[in-house]
């Protein structure tokens, strides 16, 4: 992937299956921003390509990033490359000329529930995921196609990914060194955050 000097080219994955932008001096990329892929044809087919059950856009970058890192590959920034991205605005020339389908949250969930392993339990702490889990069948659909790739290629567990990018996740506050509760003196009441769950849209 590349930035061509125009901005940040790297992302990292958050617990709520979102991604945030950052930049660093090293060449390795934890998470790509979207469908900006350059890989061999052989690798594409061995790792199953795109998840055929993801509809619309969003989430494919999380899935592809985890497939690469956990299944034996690596993602390296191509610093000299140039990527153009057209933002949609009020100009009619940038208007979408296709039907919007799918649900980004479903796509993100497919990637997270497939690759997080035991850490997938953390998703229930976020309202965008937890409230949907009342059904008897997974609301994000059947992820056996992704699990088949994981098992066939003997992919590493998600814990390996967290260790590989430990410095990044500690710096972002997603892997705190210490976890504690604040309790009101003389009572059994603990301080609790009742605000909106998930990560801030600004980072």
Sign of the alpha-carbon torsion through 52, 54, 59, 62: negative
For residues 16, 21, 26 and 29, what is the CA-based torsion angle, rounded to 10 degrees?
A: 50
- pLDDT tens for the 203 residues of the chain, in order: 444 444 567 899 999 999 998 888 888 999 998 767 788 999 999 999 999 999 988 899 999 999 999 999 999 988 787 777 777 788 888 887 777 777 889 999 999 999 999 999 888 888 888 777 777 788 999 999 999 999 999 999 999 999 999 999 988 888 888 877 788 888 888 887 776 666 655 54
In contact, 62 and 19? CB cutoff 8 Å: yes
Residue closest to 24 by CA, chosen among 2, 9, 4: 9
User: Which run of H or of E encompasses 109?
Assistant: helix 104-115
Torsion angle, CA of 85/86/88/93, rounded to 10 degrees?
-160
């Amino acid at each position: 992937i590349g930035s061509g000097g125009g901005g940040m080219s790297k992302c990292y994955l958050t617990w709520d299956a979102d991604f945030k932008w950052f930049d660093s001096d090293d060449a390795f990329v934890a998470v790509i921003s979207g469908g900006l892929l350059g890989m061999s044809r052989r690798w594409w087919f061995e790792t199953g390509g795109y998840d055929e059950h993801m509809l619309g856009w969003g989430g494919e970058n999380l899935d592809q990033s985890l497939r690469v890192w956990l299944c034996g590959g690596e993602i390296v920034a191509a610093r000299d490359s140039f990527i153009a991205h057209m933002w949609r605005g009020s100009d009619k020339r940038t208007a979408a000329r296709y039907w919007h389908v799918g649900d980004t949250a479903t796509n993100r969930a497919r990637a997270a529930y497939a690759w997080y392993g035991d850490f997938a339990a953390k998703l229930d702490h976020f309202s965008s995921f937890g409230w949907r889990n009342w059904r008897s069948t997974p609301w994000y659909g059947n992820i056996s196609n992704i699990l088949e790739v994981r098992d066939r290629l003997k992919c590493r567990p998600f814990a390996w990914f967290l260790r590989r990018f430990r410095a990044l996740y500690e710096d972002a506050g997603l892997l705190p060194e210490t976890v504690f509760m604040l309790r009101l003196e003389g009572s059994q009441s603990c301080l609790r955050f009742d605000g909106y769950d998930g990560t801030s849209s600004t980072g």
